[in-house]
Structure 1
Amino acid sequence: MTSIAKYLILSLPQSTNAQSWLENDLSGGKNLLYKLKLQDFQSGTLDSLVQESEELSKIDSQLSSSVYKVIDILNNVTELKNSKSRIINNQSIFDYIEHFNWNSSKYRLDKPINQLVQIISNEAITLDNDVRQSYQNYQSAKSNFLAADRKKNGDLSIKSLHEIVKPDQFVLNSEHLTTILIAVPKNLVDDWNSHYETLTEFVIPRSSELIASDAEYSLFSVTLFKKYQNDFITASRERKWHPRNDFQYNEDVLNSLRKEFDLTKQTEIKLKNDLIRLSKTAYSDIFQAWLHIKIIRVYVESVLRYGLPPQFNYYLIKFDQANLKNLSKSKKELIDKFGYLGGSGSDDKKNSSNLHEYASLVDTEYEPFVLYELDIV
């Protein structure tokens, strides 16, 4: 998927006094900067935070995949292919991110971090499973409708013939005779007329009747003795004609086929509408869960990098389509400016020394400060 915008979520110790530099000097001041206001979490022990850090990394990746999967589904079943048309909690996605407020009524901050993570992730994963099941049901209904549509609107070699044939075109209720239908390619009609009577024994002479034609085929009926029906069908295929031996004239079957198209169409439309409604709701809820997990992750990594008490500032740096090309350059500038933090920005040197052993465990893509990307597609 193509990115429409990216955000860098950055955490720095308050002692860096970074805001002025981020606003005016990073990439020449071309990036939009937002300051995130976050409450403190119930931290627990450093050992528990290291363990939670590993879990958060997995959940972050999982919810990212869930969000992109829902977007992919919406793109497949609607015309809403622009991120600006997606709504998060009754706001545009950009307003929601840039004015983020922790949902304390839903995710109470008096709970330990590990409980918060479990509550948020379980909700999102349940929704993700619901969307995937709904999409599977819709795909099945769509396949059934397309099959019914081919029967109704395909060429004469595959379409349902219940609206084409009439009872008087068949020999019915005969002990020995049967009427079968053959779809003959247009370029082989002369071959049909020349050879159908002698294709097998006991074909009724001059029994061929042209029933219908389309751009590709002419549909003929022919009457013969039942005993030679299979031989006639086999010989027809050898001449590249298309026997419609799937069709038997039966009023009950015909009535059922007449209803099939309408029923599969109604089912496909209903399940599509259900899927769209669920996917839009799920997109909003899973994205909110994903951003809340991202925020917890930033907090946990900040504690592991910079120490306690939590004295950090959180920033969002926006890269829209016009300045996405500045992303790598901005990252390099950030490292040049704040690389001295080296995993420990606390003024408490003793605390920093104790944390350094954790810092190398925090992230496989280790930076000298806390930095994560949020990709909007």
Structure 2
Amino acid sequence: MSQADFWILSIPSNGGSNSDLQDDLEYALVSGSTKLIQIVSPFNVPLFKVESLDVLINQNEQLAKQDTQCSAALSKTTEVIKSLVSTSSEELKDYFLVDGRTPLEYITSFQWNASRFRLSKSITDLSQSLTSEALALENDIRSRQTNFQQASSAYQSIQKKKSGNLSQRSLASIVRKEDVIVDSDYMTNIFIAVPLNAEKKFLSSYETLTNLVIPRSAQKLDQDEEFALYTVIVFKRSAEEFTSKLREQRYTVRDFTFESGLRETEQTEFDNAAEKEKHIRSSLLRYAKIAFSEIFQHWVHLKCLLVYVESVLRYGLPPDFSSVVFQPIEKADKKIKALLNQKYSYLEQNTSRNSKASDDMNASLDESMAGLNLHEEYLPYVLFTVPTKSFNY
């Protein structure tokens, strides 16, 4: 299935229905020599409460802003899910379900949820409720993501201590009690990460870097692909000078004091951090999956309000229009718009409103609409896009 976006089209009914418009589009865009759309379905728009003309125009402007806000909330939720799940389409599609259905299935069988969003409410109240709920979910997602990032950062920091090279990693799992001098008033161990290509030089020179270095005390404790880890015994009063000389020679002095049980303590810290990161990740992913479903539903309901309000503004009162949702094939946008422009060109010259409408109100509507730019690109019909490429698997 193509991952192209969906389009919602609305035109005056002229005695027809959504199904008639569906048949009309299928004939024009599917049955010809070149198939231009993947699927077309009726888009059912209920009757909403229409207040004054000024309110209707304000609602149209507000709905456009709220549509953008909901779209951004959905994009953020999508981004979070993709950051937590592998890029496998099979795995990802399970997280992009809407009320148990794929986005395609949901939008092509859309019905206004009157039990949650009562039609007795005004368009303003409905749009504010839809938007505020969607944004609240987005805020929760952002907060949970911050918690996850903090837990992940803490885990990675501890993991780096365990998995880095010998110039970085913790020495608790390497140094044993028998490798060090414990509770001495005069002597101490210095731990040095020596580059492998400088190992011979180090062994031949460390005894002469300062006074009070115990001869032949260098002991190799471990080695990786880059460094060898040594401990050298020195008198405490020369330790600072010795470490300074080591750094001058570009050796890495490791600040480490042996403590009994430190290895077990660090392992417990690592295990706890790993478990916390895993728990918060799972919780965030579960919540993001629920949030995606909810925000998508709210977003399509807002699209429904947009279609209604702009159709009334464009075609007049009482509301009498048909609407469908369809999915163009990729890169067919220009061809489809050209065909639609040609097919519905009569709407541009149709200056008369529905004869059943109030003549006074429609005259006022014409005057107000003259200065209202409903589309950046003017079209003689109502058309909205529903971008779904990023999660339509």
TM-score normalized with structure 1 length: 0.92
User: Which aligned pairs between 1:165-180 and structure 2 lie closer than 5 A?
Assistant: 165-180=175-190
- Structure 2 counterpart of 1:271, one-letter code: I
Which residue matches 2:99?
89
| 345 and 231 in structure 1: CA distance in 2 versus 1, 3 angstrom threshold | farther
Which residue matches 1:10?
9
Of 252-261 and 70-79, more deviation after overlay is shown by 252-261
**Superposition deviation, residue 353 in structure 1:** 4.0
Which residue matches 2:383?
371
Which residue matches 2:306?
297
- Contact 1:13 1:346 (C-alpha < 8 Å) held by counterparts: no
SS of 1:372 mapped into structure 2: strand
| 188 and 213 in structure 1: CA distance in 2 versus 1, 3 angstrom threshold | same
SS of 1:314 mapped into structure 2: strand
- Contact 1:335 1:368 (C-alpha < 8 Å) held by counterparts: yes
Once the two structures are superposed, residues 184-216 of structure 1 have per-residue CA deviations (whole angstroms, 9 ceiling, x without a partner) of: 111111111012112223221111100011111
Residues in 2 aligned to 1:72 and 1:38: alpha-carbon distance in whole angstroms: 30
2:149 is aligned, of 129, 139, 146, to 139
SS of 1:325 mapped into structure 2: coil
Which residue matches 2:40?
33
User: Which aligned pairs between 1:1-377 and structure 2 lie closer than 5 A?
Assistant: 4-15=3-14, 18-26=21-29, 28=32, 30-31=36-37, 32-79=39-86, 82=89, 84-85=93-94, 86-245=96-255, 247-251=256-260, 253-319=262-328, 323-342=329-348, 346-348=353-355, 351-359=361-369, 360-365=371-376, 366-376=378-388, 377=390
- Structure 1 counterpart of 2:85, one-letter code: T
- Structure 2 counterpart of 1:275, one-letter code: L
- Contact 1:13 1:312 (C-alpha < 8 Å) held by counterparts: yes
- Contact 1:54 1:362 (C-alpha < 8 Å) held by counterparts: no
| 234 and 72 in structure 1: CA distance in 2 versus 1, 3 angstrom threshold | same
SS of 2:387 mapped into structure 1: strand
Q: State the superposition RMSD in angstroms.
A: 2.1
| 250 and 34 in structure 1: CA distance in 2 versus 1, 3 angstrom threshold | same
**Superposition deviation, residue 84 in structure 1:** 4.3
SS of 1:361 mapped into structure 2: coil
- Structure 2 counterpart of 1:274, one-letter code: S
Runs of 4+ in 1 over 6 A off after TM superposition: none
Residues in 2 aligned to 1:21 and 1:334: alpha-carbon distance in whole angstroms: 11
Point out where structure 2 has 5 or more consecutive residues left out of the alignment: none
Once the two structures are superposed, residues 243-277 of structure 1 have per-residue CA deviations (whole angstroms, 9 ceiling, x without a partner) of: 111x2112365443221110110001001100110
Residues in 2 aligned to 1:87 and 1:344: alpha-carbon distance in whole angstroms: 43
- Contact 1:306 1:344 (C-alpha < 8 Å) held by counterparts: no
Residues in 2 aligned to 1:224 and 1:197: alpha-carbon distance in whole angstroms: 10
- Structure 1 counterpart of 2:268, one-letter code: K
- Structure 2 counterpart of 1:22, one-letter code: L
Once the two structures are superposed, residues 233-252 of structure 1 have per-residue CA deviations (whole angstroms, 9 ceiling, x without a partner) of: 2322222211111x211236
TM-score normalized with structure 2 length: 0.88
| 202 and 358 in structure 1: CA distance in 2 versus 1, 3 angstrom threshold | farther
Residues in 1 aligned to 2:15 and 2:330: alpha-carbon distance in whole angstroms: 26
Q: Among all aligned residue pairs of Structure 1 and Structure 2, give the percentage whose two residues are the same amino acid.
A: 35
SS of 1:251 mapped into structure 2: coil
- Structure 2 counterpart of 1:70, one-letter code: T
Residues in 1 aligned to 2:179 and 2:15: alpha-carbon distance in whole angstroms: 91
**Superposition deviation, residue 33 in structure 1:** 1.5
Point out where structure 1 has 5 or more consecutive residues left out of the alignment: none
Residues in 1 aligned to 2:368 and 2:193: alpha-carbon distance in whole angstroms: 75
- Contact 2:316 2:365 (C-alpha < 8 Å) held by counterparts: yes
SS of 2:118 mapped into structure 1: coil
- Contact 1:13 1:345 (C-alpha < 8 Å) held by counterparts: no
- Contact 1:26 1:330 (C-alpha < 8 Å) held by counterparts: yes
